[in-house]
């Protein structure tokens, strides 16, 4: 589903649903108050206060690569959105699909061993048994089963905290102030267009980063493309492409984690052919396509450009 418009703007529907949002926030507070299991190695959590895509996976990939470059044996933990697993599973890129372990898990597994399970403690136990020295969690700030060494509050600068209300009245899993109280720092991705930082404690360090196109995108400058994306905020992908010089003949947004039907993909292919354009998508969307479909698309990735890389390095050295 696409999030309702009032999650960003507020209004009567948000006001009417706010009592349910208060109950949701109270339930989250009770859940996260439980102590987590100490797995014996460092655990870094990339989480957020809102439902939807704030950039957690992008941050997890960045941190995992940085930690691996220092010689640490890194492993990723993820719930695996839509994953069909109850017990912890190590992702095998030769065998697993997005339908089985989730699209994000496939991206993470290309960088380091990745373990999927709703029970983060069970996944951590398997990862540590496999030799991991530091664990990077993609999401899980509201999951109390595993004790964290360092939690980072990820904020999408363009969306911020939406209308400031909790589910179902707004996009928040919990009030930002409550999430920030369990975090060592915030990571703001993009400009703070909604003044989200005003809801955080003044003492909370803020690391700033911008989305940057992957190296393959430079070759697409001046090319016409039909871009499609089923991520938390597809407009972020479209904007990145335009800023990189790609000429968007059409933009086709889909809900986050959308599983494309054969009919939908055929329509995208036909549109790209009619407009004499490339068919362009994100790595996360490509992970949900069949092998044959992937051969028909061009994948454009993104990374993070840090404003103060030294501050990030110091934080990671302190935590891991």
Q: What does the DSSP assignment read for 262-299?
A: HHHHHHHHHHHHHTT-EEEE-HHHHTTS-HHHHTTSEE
Question: 138 and 108 in contact (C-beta within 8 Å)?
Answer: yes
Average pLDDT, the chain: 94
Structural domains in the chain (count): 2
Residue 36 has a pLDDT of 94
Question: Average pLDDT in the 49-74 region?
Answer: 93
Query: Same domain, yes or no, for 85 and 38?
Result: yes
Confidence of residue 262 (pLDDT cuts 50, 70, 90): very high
CA dist., res. 314 & res. 152, Å (int): 14
Average pLDDT over every residue of 141-158: 96
202 and 260 within one domain: no
**In whole angstroms, what is the distance from residue 184 CA to residue 152 CA?**
6
126 and 245 assigned to the same domain: no
Q: Which residues 6+ apart lie within 8 Å of 50 measured at CB?
A: 156, 159, 161, 162, 171, 172, 173
Phi and psi dihedrals of 211, rounded to 5? Answer: -70, 135
Residue 83: per-residue pLDDT: 79
Q: Is 12 inside a domain boundary?
A: no
Query: Which DSSP symbol is given to 85?
Result: -
115 plus 89 within the same structural domain: yes
Give pLDDT, residue 240: 92
pLDDT tens digits along 160-173? 999 999 999 999 99
**Stretch 124-147: mean pLDDT:** 96
Yes or no: say if 306 and 209 are a contact pair by the CB < 8 Å rule: yes
Query: For the ranges 1-10, 31-40, 208-217, 291-300, which has the lowest average pLDDT?
Result: 1-10
For residues 285-299, give the mean pLDDT.
95
The Cα 316–Cα 320 span in angstroms is 6
What pLDDT is recorded for position 184? 97
pLDDT at 275 over 80: yes
Please tell me whether residues 148 and 274 are part of one structural domain.
no
| CATH code, domain carrying 248 | 3.40.50.2300
pLDDT at 213 over 80: yes
Q: Does some domain include residue 144? A: yes
Residue-wise burial string across 155-192, b where 16 or more C-beta atoms lie within 10 A, e elsewhere? bbbbbbbbbbbbbebbbbbbbbebbbebbbbbbbbbeb
Q: Which domain holds residue 179?
A: 34-210+306-319
E strand spans, the chain: 42-47, 74-78, 89-90, 114-116, 134-138, 150-156, 185-189, 206-213, 224-229, 247-253, 278-281, 298-299, 302-306
Same domain, 38 and 159: yes
Which bin fits 254, alpha (ψ -120 to 50), beta or left (φ > 0)? Answer: beta
Helix axes 309-319, 56-69, angle to 10 degrees: 70
pTM exceeding the 0.85 threshold for the entire prediction: yes
Residue 45 within a domain: yes
Same domain, 295 and 314: no
* pLDDT-above-70 percentage for the chain: 100
Kindly tell me if the per-residue pLDDT of 1 is higher than 70: no
Length of the chain: 320
Q: Which residues pair with 151 in a beta bridge?
A: 45
Q: Is 20 part of any domain?
A: no
Q: Give the mean pLDDT of 84-89.
A: 88
What is the dihedral angle through the alpha carbons of 36, 37, 41, 46, rounded to the nearest 10 degrees? Answer: -30
């Amino acid at each position: 589903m696409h999030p309702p418009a009032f999650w960003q703007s507020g209004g009567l529907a948000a006001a009417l649903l706010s009592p349910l949002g208060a109950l949701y926030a109270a339930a989250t507070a009770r859940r996260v108050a439980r102590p987590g299991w100490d797995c014996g190695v460092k655990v870094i959590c990339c989480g957020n206060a809102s439902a939807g895509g704030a950039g957690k996976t992008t941050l997890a990939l960045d941190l995992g690569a940085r930690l691996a470059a220092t010689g640490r044996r890194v492993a990723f933990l993820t719930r695996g959105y839509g994953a069909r697993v109850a017990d912890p599973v190590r992702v095998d890129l030769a065998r697993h699909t997005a339908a089985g372990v989730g699209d994000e898990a496939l991206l993470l597994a290309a960088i380091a061993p990745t373990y999927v399970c709703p029970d983060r403690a069970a996944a951590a136990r398997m990862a540590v048994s496999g030799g991991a020295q530091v664990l990077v969690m993609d999401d899980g700030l509201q999951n109390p089963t595993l004790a964290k060494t360092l939690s980072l509050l990820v904020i999408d600068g363009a969306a911020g905290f939406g209308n400031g209300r909790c589910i179902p009245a707004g996009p928040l899993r919990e009030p930002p102030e409550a999430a920030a109280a369990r975090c060592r720092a915030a990571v703001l991705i993009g400009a703070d267009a909604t003044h989200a930082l005003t809801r955080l404690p003044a003492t909370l360090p803020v690391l700033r980063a911008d989305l940057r196109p992957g190296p393959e995108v430079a070759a697409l400058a001046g090319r016409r493309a039909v871009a499609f994306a089923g991520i938390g905020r597809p407009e972020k992908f479209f904007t990145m492409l335009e800023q990189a010089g790609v000429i968007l003949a059409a933009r086709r947004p889909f809900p986050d984690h959308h599983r494309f039907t054969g009919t939908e993909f055929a329509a995208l292919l036909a549109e790209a052919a009619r407009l004499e354009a490339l068919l362009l998508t994100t790595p996360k969307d490509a992970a949900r396509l069949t092998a044959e479909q992937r051969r028909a698309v061009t994948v454009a990735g993104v990374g993070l450009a840090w404003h103060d890389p030294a501050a990030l390095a110091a934080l990671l050295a302190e935590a891991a």
